[in-house]
Chains A and B, each alone.
Chain A
């Protein structure tokens, strides 16, 4: 069954590095899995953990966050903020019972079209192995069910 499963993945990327890297993969005509939907932001520093939660709530099976390599941020250090936020957020995810493997973090520069294509394939494969993400939906159902004690 898992072989037929096509995961839905949302990627939050910065416009200067990873978005440009994705464009480069396109202009280089590399082929990769079509499961990832990209949302473009000015900088990874703009990516709020709430966006990630929203994507999972909406039904995404996985989320990817990708930006400039450390030291390369167009806005000098937005990606460091993103990284620090991610370190904290990951613990929160685990605490909430959301497997942190469903949220990936990576650095892809504007020059790394090939790496972008590889990442799309590997993320899709990884999330496919994890199967559909039902836990969040169950969580919502549970929290919305009135307590019975």
Chain B
């Protein structure tokens, strides 16, 4: 006979003000099987939990329903309290009468009635709950870090420095990511490569880090503590072990006019190339699409120039299988294609460039060796117009968010320009100056006050060419007047957007993403570095636009989460898994098709002589994530899902 205890929480005024808790306790108390029905101001408090435990012990309760806030809030709290009172924690259910009742309804009678329905429904469910045991799974103490930008490198180094193994996968030929492309960094104006390249080298040489560059994640299987990952090592056509990185092949390559991705198309590279001079590893790859040999079947000049025969045109893509316990996703961002702004003439006028292109111009290692020169004629610009929010905060172009870094890097660009071209004049069109961060507002003020950047509050409506000049028409909203500026160069503070294949990638590894393709965290405030999938963590701009300090902080936070995971011998996970009744299973394999995790296997039932008499489905509880799709699919009702059984759900419906 069920003896259910119902504990109705006032949550101070949160529930108490909109729901007549006294009446609710009385109503639910009359429900069959309810042995205790009490109310209290804060059940989550220490005395509240103690009273729940006491009620369990005194009344020998078989189940508990706490009518309170969302189970996402305090389910764990009350399950723990139940366990401490000797009740199986899975005999505790939460009736959500705060988020889904008292907070959203105004009529006390209606809300109380709804709360009673919700609570009774949970009472009916809990009567049919089973005593479950958490599932223990082993942990593979090796982490996979995807993305070799600053976030990925930081996460990999933090994990490796704590003594755990790391596999760092980067899809480009070199580590570095976007940070390696930058000239100087705000707000200190220290050289980006000077702080970045030592970290790249440290990651590459770390004994605990296995570095896989020019590699991509193809497939991820498994679950927290036990992921199986397939990595594609793209054919480099250069043997990594024997190549010394002398660069002879690069100087000999006849294809010299390929737009360099690293230099954002304002510099050129060869077909056999390293992305930049400080690449790690400093070993070239052959760009198959642009290589003369691959296009015409003739050339191989690089092969002849290589004195140690490291070049091999027959190399094929290879696949590596990895077993890891945790994954840190640090796949970074891309800059928006500014061609969406036809009125700014990006792509039409060579001297309209993006912020990242300006970084390459200003970088000492860039195509102009750090001189600010116009891409069209190589002349030093006398006037530059910077247009902020070129993409960000513009719903019509699909980017409603603020890219967060553009105000800062535009101020930095104006400063770098002032430092390099002393009589140059810069104008910055802005919507708002968002300079929140340590030393950030001081930095933008410096750009305005010391380096004399002229800030114009307003938007630019059109850029057109007139003789040798780019005419920029905008509005100064503070003066209430239209302005036209004749500029030599226009720099667009381009929006940060997600990687073009971010959504595909998220599906491959099984994490959520938002409408923009940025990966979703488990909780925006309280679990900002965990993805919705246990064991997969996020770092850097793949989650949302971030600057370097934020990316590094998040990477270290992810690393600490990984290390916490690795500190355990075994992991416990929720026993919400499917199981099969083998005596009724007909072996139709519908469930095998339905399962997203390949958690259902075919199992032979043998007779005593070892002859197969029947083949049935068998759920691997380690792989099962508990979605229940198979249960609904099952034609013979053989499968059921612990915690959400057919009986429980029908009872919930009937209890309403």
Which positions in A face B, CB cutoff 8 Å? 6, 8, 10, 16, 19-20, 22-23, 25-27, 29-32, 34, 37-43, 45-48, 50-51, 54-55, 58, 60, 71-72, 74-78, 81, 85, 111, 117
Give 9 closest A-B pairs by Cβ, nearest first: A26-B99, A46-B628, A45-B629, A75-B627, A43-B627, A26-B103, A23-B99, A76-B596, A34-B110
Among A6, A31, A45, A51, which residue has its beta carbon within 8 angstroms of that of B650? Answer: A51
Query: Is the CB–CB distance between B510 and A76 below 8 Å?
Result: yes
- 18 interchain pairs (CB within 8 A)? A19-B72, A27-B103, A31-B104, A32-B105, A38-B118, A39-B652, A43-B628, A45-B627, A46-B641, A47-B632, A55-B656, A72-B513, A74-B533, A75-B597, A76-B596, A81-B629, A111-B514, A117-B104
Q: B115 — nearest CB in chain A belongs to which residue?
A: A34
Q: A57 — nearest CB in chain B belongs to which residue?
A: B653
Q: A63 — nearest CB in chain B belongs to which residue?
A: B653
Given A38-B100, A43-B629, answer yes or no on A31-B649 (Cβ-Cβ < 8 Å): no
Query: Is the CB–CB distance between B104 and A32 below 8 Å?
Result: yes
Per the 8 Å Cβ criterion, residues 618-656 of B in contact with A are 625-629, 631-633, 641, 643-644, 646, 649-650, 652-654, 656
Q: In the complex, what residues of A have CB within 8 A of residue B654's CB?
A: 54, 58
Query: Is the CB–CB distance between A41 and B596 below 8 Å?
Result: no
Query: Is the CB–CB distance between A31 and B105 below 8 Å?
Result: yes
Q: In the complex, what residues of A have CB within 8 A of residue B104's CB?
A: 25-26, 29-32, 34, 117
B98 in contact (CB, < 8 A): yes
B121 in contact (CB, < 8 A): yes
B615 in contact (CB, < 8 A): no
- Having A22-B100, A39-B652, one finds 20 other A-B pairs with CB under 8 Å, namely A19-B72, A23-B96, A23-B100, A25-B100, A26-B70, A31-B105, A31-B106, A34-B101, A34-B104, A34-B114, A37-B114, A50-B646, A54-B654, A55-B656, A58-B653, A58-B654, A58-B656, A60-B656, A74-B532, A75-B625
| A40–B491 alpha-carbon span in the complex (Å) | 51
B512 in contact (CB, < 8 A): yes
Q: In the complex, what residues of B have CB within 8 A of residue A75's CB?
A: 596-597, 625, 627, 629
Instruction: Tally A-B pairs: CB < 8 A.
Output: 127
Query: Is the CB–CB distance between A16 and B632 below 8 Å?
Result: no
Query: Is the CB–CB distance between B103 and A29 below 8 Å?
Result: yes
Q: In the complex, what residues of A have CB within 8 A of residue B510's CB?
A: 76
Given A26-B98, A34-B110, answer yes or no on A45-B507 (Cβ-Cβ < 8 Å): no
- Summarize A's interface: helix, strand, loop or mixed: mixed
B576 in contact (CB, < 8 A): yes
| A48–B650 alpha-carbon span in the complex (Å) | 10
Q: In the complex, what residues of B have CB within 8 A of residue A58's CB?
A: 653-654, 656
Q: B100 — nearest CB in chain A belongs to which residue?
A: A22
Give the total of B residues in contact with A, Cβ under 8 Å: 50
| A6–B109 alpha-carbon span in the complex (Å) | 13
Which positions in B face A, CB cutoff 8 Å? 70-72, 96, 98-101, 103-107, 110-111, 113-114, 117-118, 121, 503, 507, 510, 512-514, 532-533, 576, 594, 596-597, 625-629, 631-633, 641, 643-644, 646, 649-650, 652-654, 656
Query: Is the CB–CB distance between A20 and B105 below 8 Å?
Result: no
Nearest Cβ distance between residue A72 and chain B, in whole angstroms? 6
Nearest Cβ distance between residue B20 and chain A, in whole angstroms? 14
Nearest Cβ distance between residue B610 and chain A, in whole angstroms? 37
| A31–B382 alpha-carbon span in the complex (Å) | 58
Query: Is the CB–CB distance between A54 and B629 below 8 Å?
Result: no
Q: A72 — nearest CB in chain B belongs to which residue?
A: B512
Q: In the complex, what residues of A have CB within 8 A of residue B533's CB?
A: 74
Query: Is the CB–CB distance between A41 and B633 below 8 Å?
Result: no
Query: Is the CB–CB distance between A78 and B629 below 8 Å?
Result: yes
Q: In the complex, what residues of A have CB within 8 A of residue B121's CB?
A: 37, 39
| A19–B503 alpha-carbon span in the complex (Å) | 23
Query: Is the CB–CB distance between A23 and B532 below 8 Å?
Result: no
| A41–B116 alpha-carbon span in the complex (Å) | 20
Among B99, B626, B649, which residue has its beta carbon within 8 angstroms of that of A22? Answer: B99
Given A42-B628, A58-B654, answer yes or no on A34-B111 (Cβ-Cβ < 8 Å): yes
| A23–B597 alpha-carbon span in the complex (Å) | 28
Q: A51 — nearest CB in chain B belongs to which residue?
A: B649
Query: Is the CB–CB distance between A51 and B629 below 8 Å?
Result: no
Query: Is the CB–CB distance between A10 and B653 below 8 Å?
Result: yes
Q: In the complex, what residues of B have CB within 8 A of residue A41's CB?
A: 628, 644, 649
Given A22-B99, A111-B514, answer yes or no on A42-B641 (Cβ-Cβ < 8 Å): yes
Nearest Cβ distance between residue B600 and chain A, in whole angstroms? 14
Which residue, A26, A43, A117, has most C-beta atoms of chain B within 10 A? A26
| A78–B101 alpha-carbon span in the complex (Å) | 27
| A34–B625 alpha-carbon span in the complex (Å) | 33
Nearest Cβ distance between residue B630 and chain A, in whole angstroms? 8
Query: Is the CB–CB distance between B632 and A23 below 8 Å?
Result: no
Which residue, A20, A39, A47, has most C-beta atoms of chain B within 10 A? A39
| A72–B513 alpha-carbon span in the complex (Å) | 7
| A95–B248 alpha-carbon span in the complex (Å) | 76
Query: Is the CB–CB distance between A34 and B107 below 8 Å?
Result: yes
Query: Is the CB–CB distance between A46 and B629 below 8 Å?
Result: yes
| A51–B118 alpha-carbon span in the complex (Å) | 17
Query: Is the CB–CB distance between A39 and B99 below 8 Å?
Result: no
| A78–B507 alpha-carbon span in the complex (Å) | 13
| A31–B106 alpha-carbon span in the complex (Å) | 7
Q: In the complex, what residues of B have CB within 8 A of residue A43's CB?
A: 627-629
Nearest Cβ distance between residue A116 and chain B, in whole angstroms? 9
Q: In the complex, what residues of A have CB within 8 A of residue B103's CB?
A: 26-27, 29
Query: Is the CB–CB distance between B627 and A23 below 8 Å?
Result: no
Q: In the complex, what residues of B have CB within 8 A of residue A81's CB?
A: 594, 629, 632-633
| A111–B532 alpha-carbon span in the complex (Å) | 13
Query: Is the CB–CB distance between A48 and B646 below 8 Å?
Result: yes
Q: A76 — nearest CB in chain B belongs to which residue?
A: B596
Which residue, A34, A75, A117, has most C-beta atoms of chain B within 10 A? A34
Nearest Cβ distance between residue A45 and chain B, in whole angstroms? 3
Q: In the complex, what residues of A have CB within 8 A of residue B117's CB?
A: 37
| A40–B104 alpha-carbon span in the complex (Å) | 18
